[in-house]
Amino acid sequence: MKVILSPEVSVALSAGRPVVALESTIIAHGMAYPANVETALAVEEVVRAHGAVPATIAVIGGKLKAGLSAEEIKMFGQSGPEIMKVSVRDLPFVVGRGLAGATTVAATMRIAAMAGIPVFATGGMGGVHRGAGETFDVSADLTEMTRSNVVLVTAGAKAILDLPLTLERLETDGVPVIGYRTGDFPAFYSRSSGLKVPMRAESAEEVAGIARAKWELGLPGAVIVANPIPEAEEIPASEIEPVIAAALAEAGRRGICGKEVTPFLLAEITTKTQGRSLRANIALVKNNAKVGAEIAVAYATGWGTSKTELAGLV
């Protein structure tokens, strides 16, 4: 099945111009209306302001789409949880039944790779959930990172997860985790989780070169760029951790599980922090979009390609 490209995205890809994929779950399930729509449109403008074309990805009427109109984004924002949250497992269901679906990190990665979009900027990625030793709750994002050739720009893994086990799983799966101008693994709201990243890059050009080298070596899968939240918007781990723990306990009391956990926790944390966590979320998504655009520009200009290969492109 082909991915339906918006005219703007189609022209950009045909011309070899930089494109950045964006997810739609953050619109339908990550924030309430109208902040979700305002944020989605603002993030697209950040991508454009830094030289790339935004391609928000979703399923509409059973069709895989890369590049949504403002009206389509508004529809996802207003409909919210009524729209199915779609991971890779769910794609056959929504496509086969002609439904709409808001794509998670995993599904967005898959569709971006199918469309030939090598860079994807999101908020926070999924990982190993706390208590996974009993529940076996591990995000499909991690599996997809071994399959789709995409640079994933993220503010680390969501702070609600088991971050040491998430990094351990990524190491086992051979997925590079690169700290962007940092040696610490960020934890979504916080610039540091107290864990170290195995690799570090200081520029978009370095990241583009690493990604190109990985795929030219025949090593499939993602390159994770762990980009910390801007310092001014950070909520230190010591402040946010008790809030997360209380939200997790409340989810347990209510019997909330599976893919319903993350939306519940994000909403609960927003309430308990009086909106501070929402402001942090918006800031980190915009920051990731900026870095993603810079990486997309570097990749499109051939950074990391050998001189011989570049000569063949001129």
Which residues are annotated as catalytic? 23, 158
The H or E element spanning position 132 is: helix 132-135
Asked if 5 contacts 60 with a C-beta cutoff of 8 angstroms, the reply is no
Contacts of 82 (CB under 8 A, 6+ apart): none
The amino acid at 294: E
307 CB burial (10 A radius; 0-12, 13-18, 19+): exposed
Asked if 150 contacts 181 with a C-beta cutoff of 8 angstroms, the reply is no
Tokens, residue 21:
């994929």
* Nearest one of 197, 208, 184, 216 to 292, comparing CA atoms: 208
* Nearest one of 150, 164, 259, 261 to 211, comparing CA atoms: 150
* Nearest one of 162, 199, 30 to 104, comparing CA atoms: 30
Q: Which residues share a beta bridge with 187?
A: 156, 190
Tokens, residue 165:
């086990």
